[in-house]
């Protein structure tokens, strides 16, 4: 191998080595950014999970309250029907007397 060809080969190797080093550095930067984003995503995922737990508990509480209100409404509805029936009976008796 001639000295010129050896020099070109060495330059080629050095140039590609520099390109490879630059590419590795770019990959390292991208990897660090991806790792930071992964950590942020994990924090966000835990916050979302906590929010889902809270919302589930809230939905259960609201469902329980609604069930109690429905029961109370049914009792009041039955009481009202009974009161209206009594009133109707009283009105009939009063109109029958006249």
pTM of the model: 0.56
Which pLDDT does position 96 carry in this prediction? 86
Q: What is the CA radius of gyration of the chain?
A: 41
pLDDT digits (tens, 9 = 90+) for 29-81: 999 999 999 999 999 999 999 999 999 999 999 999 999 999 999 999 999 99
The one-character DSSP state at 1 is -
Q: What is the mean predicted confidence (pLDDT) over 1-22?
A: 93
Angle among Cα 49, 53, 57 to the nearest 5 degrees reads 165
């Amino acid at each position: 191998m001639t000295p010129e060809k050896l020099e070109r080969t060495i330059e080629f190797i050095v140039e590609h080595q520099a390109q490879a080093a630059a590419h590795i550095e770019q990959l390292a930067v991208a990897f660090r950014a991806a790792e930071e984003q992964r950590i942020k995503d994990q924090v966000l995922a835990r916050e979302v999970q906590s929010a889902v737990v809270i919302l589930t508990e809230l939905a259960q509480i609201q469902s329980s309250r609604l069930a109690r209100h429905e029961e109370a409404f049914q009792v009041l509805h039955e009481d009202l029907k009974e009161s209206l029936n009594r009133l109707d009976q009283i009105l009939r008796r009063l109109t029958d007397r006249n």
